[in-house]
Amino acid sequence: MLSIVVPVYNEEDNVRPLYEKIQAVCETIGDAYEILFVDDGSEDETFNVLSELCKQEPRLVIIRFEKNAGQTAAMAAGFEFARGERIVSMDGDLQNDPIDMPRLLEKLDEGYDLVCGWRKDRQDKFLTRRVPSIIANWIISKVTGVAIHDNGCSLKAYRASVIKQVPLYGEMHRFIPAMSTVVGARIAEIVVSHHPRRFGKSKYGLGRIWRVMLDIIAFKLIISVFTSSPKLRNPKNLWNRLSNALFNPKQRAFRAAAVLSLPFFVLGRILFSTANVAALSCLGLAISLLVLGGLTENRVQQANQTSSVSGKLAHFFSFGCKRRPIRFLGPIGVMSLMLGGLFFMLRMTSFLSEALGTIGHGLSPILIATGILIFCFGLFGELIAFANAKHVKDYAVETILNANNEGTCRE
Could you list the residues that contact ligand UDP (CB under 6 A)? 7-9, 11, 40, 68, 70-71, 74, 91-93, 95, 202-204
Cα 159 from Cα 109, distance rounded (Å): 9
Q: 163 CB contacts (<8 Å, ≥6 apart)? A: 79, 87, 113, 114, 176, 180
Q: How far is the CB of 154 from ligand UDP (least distance, A)?
A: 6
SS (H, E, C) the chain: CEEEEEEECCCCCCHHHHHHHHHHHHHHHCCCEEEEEEECCCCCCHHHHHHHHHHHCCCEEEEEECCCCCHHHHHHHHHHHCCCCEEEECCCCCCECHHHHHHHHHHHHCCCCEEEEECCCCCCCHHHHHHHHHHHHHHHHHHHCCCCCCCCCCCEEEEHHHHCCCCCCCCHHHHHHHHHHHHCCCEEEEECCECCCCCCCCCCCCCHHHHHHHHHHHHHHHHHHHHHCHHHHCHHHHHHHHHHHHHCCHHHHHHHHHHHHHHHHHHHHHHCCCCHHHHHHHHHHHHHHHHHHHHHHHCHHHHCCCCCHHHHHHHHHHHCCCCCHHHHHHHHHHHHHHHHHHHHHHHHCHHHHHHHHHHHHHHHHHHHHHHHHHHHHHHHHHHHHHHHCCCCCCCCEEEEEEECCCCCEEC
Which one, 11 or 297, has the nearer CB to ligand UDP? 11
Is the Cβ of residue 189 or residue 394 nearer to ligand UDP in the bound state? Answer: 394
Q: Is 388 in the site for Mg ion (CB under 5 A)?
A: no
Nearer to ligand UDP, 155 or 369 (CB): 155
Residues touching Mg ion, count (CB under 5 A): 3
Cβ distance to ligand UDP smaller for residue 138 or 254 = 138
Q: Between residues 200 and 381, which has the closer beta carbon with respect to ligand UDP?
A: 200
d(CA 91, CA 195): 11
The site string for Mg ion over 48-87 (x = CB under 5 A, - otherwise) reads: ----------------------------------------
- Binds 314: which of Mg ion, ligand UDP, none (CB < 5-8 Å by kind): none
Residue 11 found at the interface with Mg ion (CB under 5 A)? no
Pick what 11 binds: ligand UDP, Mg ion, none; C-beta below 5 to 8 Å, kind-dependent: ligand UDP
Q: Which does 203 bind (CB under 5 to 8 A by kind): ligand UDP, Mg ion, none?
A: ligand UDP
Contacts with Mg ion in 171-200 (CB under 5 A)?
A: none
Residue whose CB is less far from ligand UDP, 95 or 298? 95
- Confirm or reject binding of residue 3 to Mg ion (CB under 5 A): no
Residue with Cβ nearer ligand UDP (66 or 106):
66
- Select the span of 30-38, 89-97, 98-106, 382-390 touching Mg ion (CB under 5 A): 89-97
Q: Rounded to the nearest whole angstrom, what is the least distance from the CB of residue 46 to Mg ion in the complex?
A: 15
Give the CA distances from residue 284 to residues 250, 287, 361, in Å, rounded to whole numbers and listed in that order. 18, 5, 20
Between residues 201 and 231, which has the closer beta carbon with respect to ligand UDP? 201
The answer to whether residue 95 forms part of the interface with Mg ion (CB under 5 A) is yes
Stretch that binds Mg ion, among 1-9, 93-101, 335-343, 349-357 (CB under 5 A): 93-101
229 binding partner (options ligand UDP, Mg ion, none; Cβ < 5 to 8 Å by kind): none
The answer to whether residue 154 forms part of the interface with Mg ion (CB under 5 A) is no
Q: How far is the CB of 95 from Mg ion (least distance, A)?
A: 4
Choosing among ligand UDP, Mg ion, none, which partner's interface includes residue 138 (Cβ < 5 to 8 Å by kind)? none
> If we measure between CA atoms, which residue out of 212, 201, 42, 18 comes closest to residue 125?
201
Q: Which is nearer to Mg ion, 8 or 60 (CB)?
A: 8
Compute the least distance from the CB of residue 202 to Mg ion, in Å.
6
- Choose the contact partner of 9 out of Mg ion, ligand UDP, none; CB within 5 to 8 A by kind: ligand UDP
* Interacting residues toward Mg ion by CB under 5 A: 91, 93, 95
